[in-house]
Amino acid sequence: MTLANFGLYGLGTMGTALAHNIAETGFDLHVASYKKEDMDSFVAAAPTFKGDFTGHDSLANMIRDMPAPRAIIFLIPAGQAIDDAIAAAKPHMLPGDVLIDAGNSDFQDTRRRAADLEASGLAYMGMGVSGGEFGARTGPSMMVGGTASVWEAMRPMLEAISAKFEGVPCVDHVGSDGAGHFVKTMHNGIEYADMQLLAESYGLMRRGLGMTTAEIGAEFVRWNDGPMRSYLVEISAEVLQTVDPKTDKPLVDVIVDTAGQKGTGRWTAIEAQKLGVAAGTVEAAVGARVWSAGREAREVGEEIFAPARGAVDLTPAQMEQAALAARIIGHSQGFDLLASASEEFDWHLDLSRCAEIWRAGCIIRSDLLSGIAKAFRNAPPAGLLAYAPEMAATLKDTVPVLRAVVSAAISAGHPVPVMTAALAWFDGMTQARGTADLIQGQRDFFGRHGFARVDGGTGHHGPWAE
Ligand code: 6PG
């Protein structure tokens, strides 16, 4: 069965953009919002877009007035607002109707909600949507979680409104219950690492290489013609080349250097810890946002220590190579998380498909993703993207440059946390015998935790001196 009656609840920036996309693609659309002013603006803007819609003054009235079976898409803040909307919708829903959460929800909430609704015979879909306002309006990348039958019912509409990569829709059913929101959260974790990586590259080129913002912008334009090509490099170039009309200064110079965060990067780092996966690049990126927010403390720190930040003897081309190495390692960690969660939650995620649906429409879209899709099709050694032959060949060339960049940056006092974390992961993961022999010795010494011996057996102890 295919669903044809769509209702969208929540007309903020993303909701409005997605509503316009759905209506203009030719689907009948009903809309409602929990904010009257959002509904008023939507109605006022109606003459500026092609599609048709029917407006309603509440979620309940919208559902009641729509012919069944209905698909109701929520674009409202994650958390309690979703539970409240479900409670308001549920009494008016009939078997065959579907509720879709298209926001950035915590996947564990989605698992709980899907189980509750499915137990009452209703269908629930947790769908990650990426691409920001422009993506939602012109074609987002979408990661669908839920039952296969709900996906089939929604598929024609979702494929029609999605971004396309060489004609292939950037939307797919990735797994049951919370899988869609988990994949979107991991997308955002990779997004955090990639954004921070570009910010570090910018910082080092500016303060270490002495380049102007316009020169760095032009350098990013050059990167965007090579293996680093991506949406984030493209917009970084634009941001750096924009001049503030009020002061005639580079716009970045009048933007306060404290980064916000809504939580998905932090959730990625938390899930990595819970799943026992090393995701140092994401953790470093979240940490960097946290210290960016401590602006006053940073000012005090600079006053107390007055650190000298010197020039670095690097070229922009080396920066590009280093960024490529760190990007591959960041993605490797993100996909490792996807693989672990897939096993833990029995989602059977197809990692190649995840890479493919990120090739257009989403924030981390990049040339690298086609290579990632191919790498996972050929089952990389130990399941790690970084070990796939094509990725390993690139890392063999670029990691020595990453090492030179990180060494130079650290020696000269420039913080490069994501690059450092990427290099540390690489060094740790390419050392067959590490240093945890001492950790095991320490654990056994103070707590009789036992250790395995290289010549056989587990649960050995000591001998330790008293
Ligand atoms: C996207 C974005 C989008 C948004 C996130 C991150 O894929 O379209 O990831 O979902 O930018 O909410 O926001 P924060 O940087 O505020 O955490």
At 246-267, the pLDDT tens digits run: 999 999 999 999 999 999 999 9
- Chain segment 132-144, per-residue pLDDT in tens: 999 999 999 999 9
- CATH number for position 460: 1.20.5.320
Joined together, the tokens standing for residue 154 give 């929604």
| One domain for residues 281 and 305 | yes
| One domain for residues 293 and 214 | yes
pLDDT value at 212 more than 80? yes
pLDDT value at 466 more than 90? no
Joined together, the tokens standing for residue 363 give 């924030």
Q: Rounded CA gap, 299 and 267, in Å?
A: 28
Joined together, the tokens standing for residue 387 give 């070990």
With contact defined as beta carbons under 8 Å apart, do 143 and 175 qualify? no
Is position 272 within any domain?
A: yes
Q: Rounded CA gap, 160 and 463, in Å?
A: 68
Q: Which residue range is the domain that position 453 belongs to?
A: 436-465
Q: What is the pLDDT of residue 437?
A: 98
Domain boundary among 130, 148, 177: 177
Q: Rounded CA gap, 328 and 292, in Å?
A: 25
Is position 136 within any domain?
A: yes
pLDDT value at 11 more than 90? yes
**Section 396-424 average pLDDT:** 98
Residues composing the chain: 466
| One domain for residues 194 and 282 | yes
Is position 320 within any domain?
A: yes
Q: What is the pLDDT of residue 51?
A: 86
| One domain for residues 443 and 400 | no
Q: Rounded CA gap, 19 and 27, in Å?
A: 10
If one residue of 133, 264, 286, 366 were mutated to test the ligand 1 pocket, choosing by the most ligand atoms within 8 A of its CB, it would be: 264
With contact defined as beta carbons under 8 Å apart, do 259 and 285 qualify? no
If you average pLDDT over every residue of the chain, what do you get?
97
Annotated active-site residue in 90, 118, 166, 184 = 184
| One domain for residues 161 and 52 | yes
Residue 383 DSSP one-character state:
G
Is position 49 within any domain?
A: yes
Q: What is the pLDDT of residue 1?
A: 80
Is position 36 within any domain?
A: yes
- Beta bridge pairs of residue 73: 8, 100
| One domain for residues 275 and 368 | yes
Distance 104 CA to ligand 1 centre (A): 8
- Beta bridge pairs of residue 350: none
- What's the whole-model pTM score? 0.96
Annotated active-site residue in 90, 191, 283, 302 = 191
Q: What percent of the chain has pLDDT over 70?
A: 100
**Section 185-202 average pLDDT:** 98
| One domain for residues 394 and 261 | yes
Q: What is the pLDDT of residue 323?
A: 98
| One domain for residues 41 and 69 | yes
Give start and end residues of each alpha helix (H) in 224-294. 231-241, 264-275, 280-293
Q: What is the pLDDT of residue 50?
A: 87
- CATH number for position 99: 3.40.50.720
Q: Check pocket membership of 132 for ligand 1, CB cut-off 6 A.
A: yes
pLDDT value at 131 more than 90? yes
Q: Whose CA is nearest to atom 14 of ligand 1?
A: 261
| One domain for residues 208 and 171 | no
Residue 413 DSSP one-character state:
T
Q: Whose CA is nearest to atom 1 of ligand 1?
A: 130
- Chain segment 165-174, per-residue pLDDT in tens: 999 999 999 9
Domain boundary among 129, 154, 177: 177
With contact defined as beta carbons under 8 Å apart, do 337 and 271 qualify? yes
**Residue 199 banded pLDDT, cuts 50, 70, 90:** very high
| One domain for residues 358 and 279 | yes
With contact defined as beta carbons under 8 Å apart, do 27 and 3 qualify? no
- Chain segment 327-338, per-residue pLDDT in tens: 999 999 999 999
Q: Rounded CA gap, 158 and 268, in Å?
A: 26
- Chain segment 109-119, per-residue pLDDT in tens: 999 999 999 99
Joined together, the tokens standing for residue 380 give 């990389």
Q: What percent of the chain has pLDDT over 90?
A: 96
Q: Whose CA is nearest to atom 15 of ligand 1?
A: 261
**Section 403-411 average pLDDT:** 98
**Section 14-32 average pLDDT:** 96
| One domain for residues 440 and 425 | no
Q: What is the pLDDT of residue 97?
A: 95
Q: Check pocket membership of 211 for ligand 1, CB cut-off 6 A.
A: no
Structural domain count, the chain: 3
- Chain segment 172-193, per-residue pLDDT in tens: 999 999 999 999 999 999 999 9
- Residue 191 appears among annotated catalytic residues: yes
Domain boundary among 149, 177, 205: 177
Q: At a CB cut-off of 8 Å and minimum separation 6, what does 466 contact?
A: none
Q: Check pocket membership of 104 for ligand 1, CB cut-off 6 A.
A: yes
- Chain segment 283-319, per-residue pLDDT in tens: 999 999 999 999 999 999 999 999 889 999 999 999 9
Is position 1 within any domain?
A: no
Q: At a CB cut-off of 8 Å and minimum separation 6, what does 67 contact?
A: 5
| One domain for residues 131 and 25 | yes
Torsion sign across C-alpha atoms 81, 86, 87, 92: positive
pLDDT value at 49 more than 90? no
Q: Rounded CA gap, 280 and 290, in Å?
A: 15
**Residue 48 banded pLDDT, cuts 50, 70, 90:** confident
Q: Rounded CA gap, 181 and 146, in Å?
A: 10
Q: Check pocket membership of 292 for ligand 1, CB cut-off 6 A.
A: no
